[in-house]
Copies of this chain bind each other. A is one copy, B any other.
Amino acid sequence: MVASPSAARRTEAQPAVEPGPVGERLERPTGIGITVTAASGQTIVVEGDPIEGWFRIASGAVRLSKSTPDGRRQVIDFLIAGESFGISSEEHYGYTVEAIARTTLVRHSRARLEAAIEAQPELARRLFGIACADLQRARQHLLLLGRKSADEKLASFLLGLAARLGTRDGVQLPMSRQDMADYLGLTIETVSRTLTRLRRQGLIALRTPQQVVLLRPDRLRRIAEGS
């Protein structure tokens, strides 16, 4: 059940994030932040870093993850364009953020956010709503990790991703098998084998390893919720 300590897979320990093509010029009173870009695999913030602002993903995708000291990793969430992280009252990040594709982010200072809340109290409600939605997602994820089988985990994951990306029957996976495994609390081999099983049962098709077609969403849904 437990991945071996040698499973540390942080092959990336890059410099950090560099100012993007647009650069710091966008730091203006309009409320638009600093645009930065990150290459795939690049680390944006590390668990324990002080939270100095929040990021909104303009394009691309990132993963949030936590690790044990011996390198086992749990992916907390994947974020895509339009979603944010770093909106918290905590002092430090409780997770690491890494790009899983070439990603553009807009960084906003915490001070400005505080000021904006003063100016328009309605904003506080929006942030609270985001935190509540994140909490609901995390709790759904708890049920998946604690009580679902590998088949159920994959079915849930594929359906959830399709719903999130707004695609009816096909999903372009933005993450690797390793990322999926670390999100689902499985190993890469089990993810691969389970996808193969779903494919052999005619529930999905794999055009390429990243391009999944949901052939039988109805049956996948039944599996996802416990046959």
A17 within 8 Å of B (CB atoms): no
A88 within 8 Å of B (CB atoms): yes
Minimum CB distance partner of A146 in chain B: B185
Taking A142-B141, A149-B1 as contacts, is the C-beta distance between A131 and B135 under 8 angstroms?
yes
A26 within 8 Å of B (CB atoms): no
Copies in the complex: 2
Minimum CB distance partner of A118 in chain B: B121
Q: How far is the CA of A94 from the CA of B141 in the complex (A)?
A: 12
| A73: B residues at CB distance < 8 A | 147
Q: Are A226 and B147 interface neighbours, CB within 8 A?
A: no
Interface size class of A (residues with CB under 8 A): 35 or more
Q: How far is the CA of A5 from the CA of B128 in the complex (A)?
A: 37
Interface-side segment among A37-45, A53-61, A62-70, A202-210: A62-70
Contact code string A129-159 (vs B, CB < 8 Å = 1, else 0) = 1011111101111110111110010000000
Residue from B1, B136, B145, B149 in contact with A90 in the complex, judged by beta carbons closer than 8 Å: B136
A127 within 8 Å of B (CB atoms): yes
Residue from B89, B139, B145, B146 in contact with A132 in the complex, judged by beta carbons closer than 8 Å: B89
Q: Are B143 and A74 interface neighbours, CB within 8 A?
A: yes
What would be 22 A-B contacts, judged by CB atoms less than 8 Å apart?
A: A2-B148, A2-B152, A68-B143, A68-B148, A70-B226, A74-B147, A76-B142, A88-B135, A121-B121, A121-B124, A124-B124, A127-B128, A131-B131, A131-B135, A138-B139, A138-B142, A141-B142, A145-B145, A145-B146, A146-B184, A146-B185, A147-B185
Residues of A bordering B, CB below 8 Å: 1-3, 5, 66-70, 72-74, 76, 88-90, 94-95, 121, 124-125, 127-129, 131-136, 138-143, 145-149, 152, 182, 184-185, 225-227
